[in-house]
Chain A
Amino acid sequence: SQTIHQWPATLVQPVGSPLSLECTVEGTSNPNLYWYRQAAGRGLQLLFYSVGIGQISSEVPQNLSASRPQDRQFILSSKKLLLSDSGFYLCAWALGPSGEQYFGPGTRLTVT
């Protein structure tokens, strides 16, 4: 069966500090991978998606970046966090463009 992992589960970081969130998927090959952010009480905002190693599409201009160094690994990064980067970050995977998405447990980031 397939499993998606995210870590850390919670994170408190000061403004201006770097960020690295990691997501890995097990039990499948060549998945589409996604990073979402959810502000408190809001819907999900798609940040990045990837259809293959090294292929990243950005949906929203921001100070975040994403990388996919391996087939089942997706990393979300920032060089300098802003207060507005606080939120619940979710990684998801899907098999193909029309398949349902499977979400990870999420990382709650608080920028202070």
Chain B
Amino acid sequence: LAKTTQPISMDSYEGQEVNITCSHNNIATNDYITWYQQFPSQGPRFIIQGYKTKVTNEVASLFIPADRKSSTLSLPRVSLSDTAVYYCLVGRDNYGQNFVFGPGTRLSVLP
């Protein structure tokens, strides 16, 4: 089981780029990295997933260094609506203890 460590909270201002780093020192060879976003009283929503190097979609970018012991979720030009909790998950599949939601990072975007 690859344990992840994220900052508990972060503050940012509208229009800024936000980078949230997740540490996963014990990541296994077959594990991939997935990020979810959760708004209050809603279920989490998938943001992005990657295995190595860089992945980009219309919402975010995910940077994974060569040793894969950490990853960084990058949110470009955040807005107030990006205020949410962001979860980093590491696992080879979404069964049971292979895929664990930690406490996440609470991002607050200020005007």
Listed in ascending order, the chain A residues whose CB lies under 8 Å from chain B are 32, 34, 36, 42-46, 49, 51, 57, 59, 88, 90, 92, 94, 97-106, 108
Contacts and interface: CB of A to CB of B under 8 A. Distances in A.
B94 A101 contact: yes
A97 B94 contact: yes
B63 interface: no
Chain A interface, >50% SS class: strand
A101 B103 contact: no
A103 B45 contact: yes
A111 B92 CA distance: 35
11 contacts: A32-B94, A34-B94, A36-B101, A46-B99, A46-B101, A49-B96, A90-B43, A98-B94, A99-B94, A104-B43, A108-B41
A89 to B, nearest CB: 10
B93 interface: yes
Contact of A102 (B46, B95, B104): B46
A34 B95 CA distance: 9
A25 B87 CA distance: 24
Given A98-B93, A106-B42, A43 B99 contact: no
B41 A106 contact: yes
B43 A43 contact: no
A110 B87 CA distance: 25
